[in-house]
């Protein structure tokens, strides 16, 4: 089917696992069209004029939250910023009551981040507004997976046949899951790299290869995506010391000598400089970390535009 014949029909974006490669390509193609808005002197389009977007964040965020806010503003939507810390959740109000009360004000799109896996799906079944997952527990972070795929496609032309290493704390990473689904559906080979204690349960069921040695596989990678160790999600230490982890899995200037000269170095942020990646590498010539952030804006504009379109079709 030609690109322009495709009609997006989903009212929600909960994850990438259940999307087809064609649907993922369609989001990326749509994002390409939205990039131009950010180059205008007046960075606005009327696409979501009259619509209300709620940023419903129950976990901290710098990139995702501000990117969704700016994306919604650029599309002329009104934006409500909800944070758990300053809300009536502290008085015992439930997620559903919170969402329903906001919905009573007339909202169209809920962007939710929550520590509980499944919270976005739950909301999508219980409210009328469109729901976009901005990260749920260890499950998915679909717009991160999309912006990572978008960044690779933009620089390399295609993901077909590329080898992408995802390194570090895979077990606790929703970014890793959404990346795995997006990248493999678009034709890349994904290699998960890290100590056995940071591999997810049932890793053999994922469409990936696994390596316990970064030095063994670094030379064959076209893209390397370094993950933060999510100490806040761990009950006990998964490795003897941070120094030892950095020694075996940190991306250092010295280790980069083994990489292809045109390898793309990615990181979803926030970075723990000196732990999973050295500053000289994070800020070096192969790094596309800030391009990922920039591309997130167009991707989130595209996602909000598409779910709004999906809602109109479902009416």
Considering only the stretches 55-63, 91-99, 150-158, 201-209, report the one whose residues sit in contact with ligand CP under the rule CB under 6 A. Answer: 55-63
In the bound complex, what is the minimum distance in angstroms from residue 57's beta carbon to ligand CP? Answer: 9
Stretch that binds ligand CP, among 34-42, 62-70, 255-263, 273-281 (CB under 6 A): 62-70
From the list 4-12, 154-162, 233-241, 266-274, the region that binds ligand CP by CB under 6 A is 266-274
Q: Which of 21, 22, 62, 88 binds ligand CP (CB under 6 A)?
A: 62
Contacts of ligand CP in 161-220 (CB under 6 A): none
Identify which range of 45-53, 73-81, 194-202, 262-270 contacts ligand CP by CB under 6 A: 262-270
- Rounded to whole angstroms, how far apart are CA atoms 250 and 240? 15
By CB under 6 A, residue 269 contacts ligand CP: yes
Choose, by CB under 6 A, the member of 55, 98, 144, 295 that binds ligand CP. 144
Nearest C-alpha neighbor of 159 from the set 191, 125, 186, 128: 186
> Among candidates 155, 130, 189, 151, which has minimal Cα distance to 12?
130
- Quick one: 54 or 218, whose CB is closer to ligand CP? 54
Residue 137 near ligand CP by CB under 6 A: no
Out of 17, 35, 38, 63, point to the residue binding ligand CP (CB under 6 A).
63
CB of 175 to ligand CP, least distance (A): 7
Q: What letter does residue 68 receive in the DSSP assignment?
A: H
69 binds ligand CP (CB under 6 A): no
- What is the full DSSP assignment across 81-122? EEEGGGSGGGGT--HHHHHHHHHTTT-SEEEEEESSTTHHHH
Q: Which one of residues 23, 35, 38, 61 is an interface residue with ligand CP (CB under 6 A)?
A: 61
Strands 264-266 and 223-226: parallel
Q: Give the Cβ contact number of residue 206 at 10 Å.
A: 18
Question: What separation in angstroms does the CA of 38 have from each of 26, 43, 54, 151?
Answer: 20, 5, 22, 16
The encoded tokens of residue 131 equal 């729901």
The region, left, alpha or beta by phi > 0 then psi within -120 to 50, assigned to residue 85 is alpha
Question: Which residue from 140, 134, 147, 135 is spatially nearest to 28, judged by alpha carbons?
Answer: 147
Binders in 71-130 for ligand CP, by CB under 6 A = none
CB 28 within 8 A of CB 142: no
The stretch among 215-223, 249-257, 264-272, 275-283 that binds ligand CP (CB under 6 A) is 264-272
Between 59 and 222, name the residue whose CB sits nearer to ligand CP: 59
Cβ distance to ligand CP smaller for residue 64 or 69: 64
Q: Which is nearer to ligand CP, 61 or 76 (CB)?
A: 61
183 and 149 Cβ atoms separated by less than 8 Å: yes
Only one of the segments 23-31, 153-161, 268-276, 281-289 lies at the binding site for ligand CP (rule: CB under 6 A); that segment is: 268-276
Rounded-to-integer distance, Cα 10 and Cα 255, Å: 43
Total residues contacting ligand CP by CB under 6 A comes to 11
Q: Does 294 bind ligand CP (CB under 6 A)?
A: no
Query: Would you tell me which residues interact with ligand CP (CB under 6 A)?
Result: 61-65, 135, 141, 144, 268-270
């Amino acid at each position: 089917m030609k690109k322009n014949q495709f009609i997006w029909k989903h009212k929600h974006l909960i994850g990438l696992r259940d999307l087809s490669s064609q649907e993922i390509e369609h989001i990326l193609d749509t994002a390409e069209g939205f990039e131009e808005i950010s180059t205008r002197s007046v960075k606005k389009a009327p696409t979501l004029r009259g619509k209300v977007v709620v940023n419903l964040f129950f976990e901290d965020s710098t990139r995702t939250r501000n990117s969704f806010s700016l994306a919604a503003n650029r599309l002329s939507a009104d934006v409500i910023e909800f944070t758990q810390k300053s809300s009536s959740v502290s008085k015992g109000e439930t997620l559903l009551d919170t969402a329903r009360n906001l919905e009573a004000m007339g909202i169209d799109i809920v962007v939710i981040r929550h520590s509980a896996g499944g919270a976005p799906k739950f909301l999508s079944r219980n409210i009328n507004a469109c729901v976009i997952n901005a990260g749920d527990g260890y499950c998915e972070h679909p717009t991160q997976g999309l912006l990572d795929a978008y960044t690779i496609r933009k620089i390399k032309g295609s993901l077909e046949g590329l080898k992408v290493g995802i390194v570090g704390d895979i077990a606790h990473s929703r970014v890793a899951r959404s990346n795995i689904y997006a990248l493999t559906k678009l034709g890349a080979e994904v290699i998960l790299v890290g100590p056995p204690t940071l591999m997810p349960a049932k890793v053999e069921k994922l469409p990936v290869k696994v390596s316990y040695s970064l030095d063994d596989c670094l030379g064959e990678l076209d893209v390397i995506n370094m993950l933060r160790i999510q100490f806040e999600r761990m009950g006990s230490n998964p490795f003897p010391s941070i120094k030892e982890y950095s020694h075996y899995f940190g991306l250092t200037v010295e280790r980069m000598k083994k990489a292809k000269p045109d390898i793309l170095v990615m990181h979803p942020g926030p970075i723990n400089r000196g732990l999973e990646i050295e500053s000289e590498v994070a800020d070096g010539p192969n790094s596309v970390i800030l391009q990922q952030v920039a591309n997130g804006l167009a991707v989130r504009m595209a996602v909000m535009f598409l779910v709004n379109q999906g809602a109109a079709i479902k009416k």
